[in-house]
Amino acid sequence: MTAIAAAGARVWRVGAQVDTDQLAPGHAMKHGIEVVARHCLESVRPDFAAGVRPGDVLVAGPDFGIGSSREQAASALVHLGLAAVVAPSFSGLYFRNAFNVGLLLLTCERAEEITEGERIDFDAAAGRIVRPGGELLPTQPIPGFLLDMVAAGGLLAQLQQRSSRRTTP
Amino acid sequence: MTAIAAAGARVWRVGAQVDTDQLAPGHAMKHGIEVVARHCLESVRPDFAAGVRPGDVLVAGPDFGIGSSREQAASALVHLGLAAVVAPSFSGLYFRNAFNVGLLLLTCERAEEITEGERIDFDAAAGRIVRPGGELLPTQPIPGFLLDMVAAGGLLAQLQQRSSRRTTP
């Protein structure tokens, strides 16, 4: 289950063009997702993997998730319990993988105004982020079927839930 | 069926941040895809919809497909027979929609070096574009399952083909 709205989510800031090798370092890729997650972003934010708490959000600059199509670059953040990634733009392949594994991405032109450590509210269905002072930042509306999929925990989780609903009364 | 490789594809150039309202104008959205396609890009390239030929490619600047999540912004280009869109970056929602409807997108950092009217070769599986002089521009590798989906003509077409293969000998 992924929340598509949250209040008081703590912000971790990273810069522009965070790539899939920073998110899921090559040297950890032979291990399971627990190990990959432990090394997530170590080259840009060495304090991230150990310090992040479920429900926190990552706020980044443009072109988040460029690089390879490795799915672990999204599932590592799911494993760490991240509520969402907020950025002005995402790599297309990363955007696709992220929703498939249940990671919510919020496309927000003004993402970089958000600062490290602040606590934000977000509502993906309404298409907005609210900063501590009440300032509202619009996010790109996401179609309902994608929000349903991410809320279910991703594509596979959604298919499993649907099939179990069909077979149990 | 969409080709994932082509030779001598003719180039149409557009600029950065082509949005979904330019691709599928609001005033045409109450009509079918034939009408939407006829108005595709009319505000930026009024010669495009009437002049484009099956197998041509559209080459654009960064952030292609930003705006709304309307699927017609991708299916209009499929309807016109476009072989691919080449750009340095795409909106995440557009990237998702495009592959689902069988439109090939090639992420190419150096897309903007390609000029109007030139004829390029591309090979999405190999991850490259070759310009008329032989110059090679790398494109982001696309995972095999996505290439299969786009080659089949999109997600629905692929599912239909799979289900008909199961029921016919």
Domain-wise residue ranges, chain A: 5-167
- For Cα atoms A116, A23, B103, give the angle at the middle one, nearest 5 degrees: 110
Q: Which whole-number Å values give the CA distances from A148 to A117, A157, B30, B77, in the listed order?
A: 29, 11, 26, 28
Burial (Cβ within 10 Å: 0-12, 13-18, ≥19) of residue A163: exposed
Q: What pLDDT sits at residue B46? A: 96
Q: In chain B, which residue's Cα lies nearest the Cα of A146? A: B93
Residues of B in contact with A92 (CB under 8 A): 89-92, 94-96, 105, 107
Would the CB atoms of A92 and B69 count as touching at under 8 Å?
Answer: no
Say if residue A42 is exposed, middle or buried (CB neighbours under 10 Å; 0-12, 13-18, 19+).
middle
pTM as predicted: 0.85
Distances (CA, A) of A97 to A68, A90, A91, A113: 11, 11, 10, 26
Rounded to whole angstroms, the Cα distance separating B48 from B39 reads 9
Q: Residue B49: pLDDT above 70?
A: yes
CATH of the domain spanning A5-167, picked from 3.40.50.2000, 3.20.19.10, 3.40.1160.10, 1.10.560.10? 3.20.19.10
Q: Number of CB pairs < 8 Å for A and B?
A: 58
Q: What is the mean pLDDT of residues A88-92?
A: 96
C-alpha torsion angle, residues A22, A12, B61, B23 (rounded to 10): 120
pLDDT tens digits, B36-48: 999 999 999 999 9
Query: Percentage of chain A with pLDDT > 70?
Result: 97
For the cut 80, the answer to whether the pLDDT of residue A59 exceeds it is: yes
Average pLDDT of span B135-142: 95
* Sequence-ordered alpha helix ranges (H) in chain A: 20-23, 33-38, 48-51, 72-79, 92-100, 144-151, 155-167
Q: List the single range of A50-54, A162-166, B83-87, B126-130 with lowest mean pLDDT.
A: A162-166
pLDDT tens by residue, B53-106:
999 999 999 999 999 889 999 999 999 999 999 999 999 999 999 999 999 999
